[in-house]
Structure 1
């Protein structure tokens, strides 16, 4: 009878897969020996595998290059990284190795851009696409960046006042884009996005505020929908409406030469994940080609803003199962040595599912369980995997430690979770490990940030270090076995 965990996985999915393989009884991720990582750094821990960032950027560029060649498309393609997905220096440094551009969301993003320019990571020809509702500091920072010579900074106009606000702080002429306020999917609680300007108002807005404004030139139309790039009627309908606006504008605005189709490529969230990226890109390019040909206008240069797709699949989190609680005749709770609310907040906030697999004991018998976090909050749990009705793990045994990994967690989790700040129930933030490869392809690991200590949290709370009297307490990782 096939009762081992490895049997369950092989019967349910195609396994092994490109990024997931086994070395004996232990799981490997992109060739990383995860058990060795645990032995070296302990648990809980988070890690970022930097080469995956460059790999995904390269994949997207190739897909667009193929589609442009296949369709005889005359415009260029520009890949932008959406910084809000992860602002960390190591992420930006890795992404910018690939001749890409940047999309920003708020004032402090511009400070990051300026720092990256100062060390040569961002060049003068790098596009900086400035999205979001622009408060005074954001306006001021955009003005400073453009006034200091970064002409490829393009503010995307979100409301009717931003043209005047930008004109007040920018000394010379400048380029802008306009964001379309797309209609939301029918299941949403509201009809139209709060961001941007409505379809029917864009042409009048251009004619009233930009057409005769000698200081402002319209370069880009920006299109994005919440659900991302999906092969469904809703996405294609919104894209067609966007293209109709583009050709109307292009006929009266010669300077308009770019279409930003935003982001929203899904990332792998299950071993059964399927998505035909090349087909979607081919069809998008084809639709733009057809629409522009019918309207007899030149095709636009294409910009995308990929955030989760860029960085999501580079991240992972590892926990140890501390204890099993049998709460009734059916439910077994495996308690992890951290908190889902603080370390993987999307699992709690939007019921997002990540790939979850054990790190060790793949040849042991399995059982159905629920996963619980350490906080005293009833919402601190993880109860299912994508495409499965339950969680199955190797059977809990007190004398045989079990470690589990959550994969493709690299987007948003640190910033939403409040990296380096207070955590729910004062559960400390795990240590964070960076994983790279040297010129020979060998794995290189380094500790980016240690696990939070009591003194870190007390200082934030205003206690300073007066509440710490035990030296050993400062030096011991919370529920961690080194």
Structure 2
């Protein structure tokens, strides 16, 4: 009988796959010996394989280049990295090796851009696309970047008030983008996105507020779908409406030459994942080109903002099974040595699923299990895979340790989980290791951060004797003088 874990995978999926191979009963990820990694650094352990970031950037460029060549598309393609997916320096350094552009979403993003410019990793040829709601600090930082000569900075107007804020902060010519407020999918609680300007208001806003002010040069129309780029009637309908608005605006504004199709590509979340990236790219460009040709309007330059697609598939997290618990006749729990709530918060917050595989013991018999974290929270669990309503793993025995990996976790998890801060139930953040290849193609590893120490946590909580609020609220004493209570 075929009762081993390797038999289950062979019967269910096409395996091995490009990034996953088996040597003996051990899993290799991009030819990285994960058991050796555990032996050197322990677990729980987060890791990032930098070459995968460059690989995905260059794959997307090839898809767009081939489609543009086949269609004789006249515009250019510009790859932007969506920084909010992961702001870490090692990510940005790898991203910028590929001469791409950046999309920002907050004031601190601009500080990061300035830091990278000072180090020579960004120059004035890099586009900086500024998205997000722009309050005073964000506008101030954008204005400083433009005043210092970064003319390829494009603030994308998200609300009517932002134009006035930018007008008062900047006294020189500048490029602008306008963001369309897309309609949401039917299952969402609201009809129109809170982000951007409504379809019916875009052109009147341009005519009344942007066009009369010679300081502003409308260069970009921004289109974003929260679900990402999917082959669905909803997506194609929203794209068609966006192209119609672009064509109408382009007829009134010859300077408008770029269309930003924000909203990213999906990433692999199962061994059964199947997505026709190149076909979707060609269909997008075909629809844009067809609409423009029909109205005798030049095809726009294309910008994309890929965040999860850029960095997501580069990373993973490894746990060890501490023990198993048989809670009733049907439910057997494998308890990991960390917490899903703190290290993979999307699994708890939005029930997102990641690609999960055992690292070792592939030749052992398998069984159906539930995975539980070590916090005292009932929501700290992971109970199914994208392709199935259950988890199957090799049988656990204390005499034979079992390690499991969650893969393609590189986007958002550290930011949402509050990397370096206070974690739920004070479970410490794991070690993080950066994996790269040298000029000879040999793997190299370095420790980016150690597992969080209890002294760091006590310091954050104020137990180290330092009063972090001292002197900040002295005005309260004065404000109460003379007031009768």
- 1:313-328 to structure 2, matched below 5 A, reads 313-328=313-328
Which SS does the other structure have where 2:356 is aligned? Answer: strand
- Superposition pairs for residues 15-414 of structure 1, below 5 Å? 15-414=15-414
Alignment of 1:436-447 (within 5 A): 436-447=436-447
**Partners of 1:289 and 1:135 in 2: how far apart?**
36
SS of the residue corresponding to residue 58 of structure 2 reads helix
Q: What are the superposed Cα offsets for residues 150-176 of structure 1, whole Å, 9 maximum, x if unpaired?
A: 000000000111111111111311010
SS in 1 for 2:160: coil
TM-score scaled by structure 1? 0.96
Please give the alpha-carbon distance, in whole angstroms, between the structure 2 residues aligned to 1:453 and 1:210: 53
Question: Aligned equivalents of 1:420 and 1:338: distance in 2?
Answer: 15
Contact 2:26–2:359 (8 Å) recurs in 1:
yes
Q: Is the 8 A contact 2:227 2:263 kept in 1?
A: no
What SS does structure 2 have at the residue aligned with 1:98? coil
Alignment-derived partner of residue 422 in structure 1: 422
Matched ranges for 1:454-465 at <5 A: 454-464=454-464
Deviation at 1:187, TM superposition (A): 1.1
| Aligned partners of 2:332 and 2:368 also within 8 Å | yes
* In structure 2, C-alpha distance between the alignment counterparts of 1:5 and 1:117, rounded to whole Å: 50
> 1:331: Cα distance to partner?
0.5
Question: What's the secondary structure of 1:261's corresponding residue?
Answer: strand
Whole-angstrom distance in 2 between the partners of 1:217 and 1:375? 53
- Distance of 2:163 and 2:37 partners within structure 1: 51
> What CA distance in whole angstroms lies between the structure 1 residues aligned with 2:43 and 2:230?
37
| Per-residue deviation, 1:422 | 0.3
2:7 aligned partner: 7
Q: Runs ≥4 in structure 1, deviation > 4 angstroms?
A: none
Contact 1:85 1:412 in 2 (8 A): yes
- SS of the residue corresponding to residue 129 of structure 2 reads strand
User: Deviation string for 1:2-54 (max 9, x for gaps)?
Assistant: 01100000000000000000111100000000000000000100000000000
1:381-432 per-position Cα deviation (integer Å, ceiling 9, x unaligned): 0000111121111101011100000000000000000000000000000000
Q: Which moved more, 1:61-70 or 1:168-177?
A: 168-177
Q: What is the root-mean-square deviation in Å for CA atoms of aligned residues?
A: 0.8
Cα contact 1:223–1:261 (8 A) shared by 2: yes
Distance in 2 (alpha carbons) for counterparts of 1:286 and 1:324: 54
Check conservation: 1:420, 1:452, Cα contact below 8 A.
yes
What secondary structure is seen at the aligned counterpart in 2 of 1:378? Answer: coil
Tell me, yes or no, if the aligned pair for 1:458 and 1:465 is still in contact at 8 Å. Answer: no
What do the CA deviations read for 1:199-225 (whole angstroms, capped 9, x no partner)?
111000000111111111100000011
Deviations 1:257-280 (A, max 9, x none): 000001320000000000000000
Query: Alignment partner of 1:415: what SS?
Result: helix
CA deviations on 1:193-250 (whole Å, 9 max, x unpaired) are 0000001110000001111111111000000111110111000000000011000000
Asked if the contact 2:226–2:263 (Cα under 8 Å) also holds between the matched residues in 1, the reply is no
What do residues 432-481 of structure 1 show as CA deviations (whole Å, max 9, x unaligned)? Answer: 00000000100000000000011010000000189xxxxxxxxxxxxxxx
Cα separation, 2, equivalents of 1:436 and 1:150? 32
Q: Is the 8 A contact 1:455 1:465 kept in 2?
A: no
| C-alpha separation in 2, matches of 1:305 and 1:138 | 20
What TM-score do the two structures reach when normalised by structure 2?
Answer: 0.95
Q: Secondary structure in 2 aligned to 1:161?
A: helix
Counterparts of 1:184 and 1:338, CA distance in 2 = 36
Structure 2 CA distance for aligned equivalents of residues 405 and 387 of structure 1: 17
Rounded to whole Å, the distance in 1 between the matches of 2:389 and 2:229 is 26
Contact 2:105 2:131 in 1 (8 A): yes
Match of 2:448 in 1: 448
Task: Give the whole-Å Cα distance in 1 for the aligned partners of 2:70 and 2:186.
Answer: 34
- 2-side partners of 1:14 and 1:224: how far apart? 34
Deviations 1:89-119 (A, max 9, x none): 0000001111100000011000000000000
Residue aligned with 2:97, SS: helix
